[in-house]
Every structure is written in structure tokens, then in C-alpha cells.
Amino acid sequence: MEENKEQKEETTLGKEIKKEDLANAEVKSEEPKEKTSKKKNNKQRVQNMLFAFIALCFCCVIFSILLGGVAVYQSITGEDLFNTNISTPTLFRKNSEENSDVQKNSEESSKSDKDSAIEFNNKIVDMQVSLIGHFQNLGATLATKDIDAVDKAYSDSLGASYITAQKIDTIEVVEGGEDLRVAAKNLFQFYLDVLSNDYSTIVEELRLTGEISEESINNLTTKISANEAKLDLQFQKAQQELADKYNFEIQ
């Protein structure tokens, strides 16, 4: 009985030893697996890092090519491809630009109209001054009683008056400038009539007698004074109305 008991104990103990040996064997067999698994994880990590590095290098190459293309585009067109200056919404900016353009065009139009009115006035005044210069030269020449010089001065004055009387009809008239054109035409036509009728009589008298009578001079002076003053007043009134309309001063 004791032997059987010992055998049972041995058997049980043997089983326990075998269990322990088996457990140790399993632990030992698992250790290489864990090491193998760790090696595989390390290898996978290295591969992932390598792939990430390659991807980064590829992105850098693509970015460099893109920058090179932008530089070439800007050098050819002179435009900034990445200009992102945004100050106002598109619709608001468009309306603002349109309002600015309208205001600018209005100012330019107003300025242009004023300049045109001044230019129109100055052209007419230049015509008047030119005719007065011819009259003054004719009067000074008549005082010399040199018939040849008088004939030339008279011919020049008559020709200039005729040309001016015709030219005033062709001049471009600004808005509100018709009254000035009509007043100038009436004044210039008066100069032409005086030359054609009154001065021609005096020149012919000088040619025939070598003298100019006091009566002829008085008649000429009276006629000019009576008519020129009225015509000149109408001329000045039309000038001032044009100046008031376009806000410029008559000097």
C-alpha cells in the first residue's frame, strides 16, 4: 500500500514536474516568437519611415517644379500669379469703380466743356483784336498821306475783314455760345461795311487830292462811334453770359 502510495505520489509529482517542464518549454517557445514579432515591427517601422522620406522628397521636387513654372510665367507675362489682394467684395468694388468712373468722367466732361468755352471765346477775341490791328495800321498810314502805303494798308484791312466775316460762320460753337457768335458776326460785318464804304471814300479822296478833308474824317468818326458802341456792348454782354455759364473770367 505504501509503495502504491509512493508510486501515486511520484506519479502525481511527476505529472506536476512534467507540467512545469511543459510550461517552461512553452515559455521558452514563446520567447523567440516575441523576438521575431519585435523584429518584424522594427522592420515595418523602418520601411514606413523610408516611404515617408521618399514621399517628402517627391513633394519637394514637385513644389520646386511648380515654383519654377510660376517664375517662368511671371517673367513672360509680368503678372503676379498669386496676387491675392482683396480689399472689397467684387460687387461692391465694381459699384465703387463705376461710381468713381462716372464722377471722373463728369469732372473731365465739365472741365472739357469749360476749356472749350474759353477756347471759343478766345478765338473770337483774337479775330477782333486782329481786325482792330489792321484798322490802327490803316489809320496810321493815312496820316502819312503816302498813297501807295495807304493802298496796301487798305487792301490788307479789307481782305482781313472779309475773311473774318466768313470765318465766324464756320467756327465750332459751344453750348450757350451762339449769342456770342452772332454778336461777333454783327461787329465784324460792321467793320467790313465801314472799310468797303467809308474808308474807300477817304482813300479815293487822298488819291485824287493828296489830302483828306476834316469833314470826311468827322463823318467817319461819327459813324463808327454811333454804331460800334452798340455792337460792342452786345458783344461784351454775350461774352459775360458765356463766362457766367462756364465759370471763367473775362479779362
pTM of the model: 0.56
Which of 55-64, 68-77, 107-116, 213-222 has the highest average model confidence (pLDDT)?
A: 213-222
For residue 226, the model assigns a pLDDT of 87
How does 100-131 read in b/e, with b if 16+ C-beta sit within 10 Å?
A: eeeeeeeeeeeeeeeebbbebbeebbebbeeb
- Let me know the angle formed at the C-alpha of 224 by 223 and 229, rounded to the nearest 5 degrees: 115
For residue 251, the model assigns a pLDDT of 79
pLDDT tens figures, 97-124 = 555 555 555 555 555 899 999 999 999 9
pLDDT at residue 162 greater than cutoff 60: yes
For residue 122, the model assigns a pLDDT of 96
Q: Is 78 helix (H, G, I), strand (E, B) or coil?
A: coil
Q: Which residue has the higher pLDDT, 108 or 226?
A: 226
Domain ranges, ordered by start, for the chain: 1-85, 112-246
Q: Would you say 243 and 177 are in contact if contact means Cβ atoms under 8 Å apart?
A: no
For residue 13, the model assigns a pLDDT of 43
For residue 56, the model assigns a pLDDT of 52
For residue 54, the model assigns a pLDDT of 55
pLDDT tens figures, 163-221 = 999 999 999 999 999 999 999 999 999 999 999 999 999 999 999 999 999 999 999 99
Q: How high is the mean pLDDT of the chain?
A: 74
For residue 17, the model assigns a pLDDT of 41
Q: Would you say 137 and 157 are in contact if contact means Cβ atoms under 8 Å apart?
A: yes
For residue 240, the model assigns a pLDDT of 96
Q: Name the percent of the chain lying above pLDDT 90.
A: 53
pLDDT at residue 132 greater than cutoff 90: yes
Q: Name the percent of the chain lying above pLDDT 70.
A: 56
Give the mean model confidence (pLDDT) for residues 30-43.
Answer: 51
For residue 140, the model assigns a pLDDT of 96
Q: Which residues contact 88 (CB under 8 A, 6 or more apart)?
A: 96
pLDDT at residue 250 greater than cutoff 60: yes
How many angstroms separate the CA atoms of 43 and 206, rounded?
131
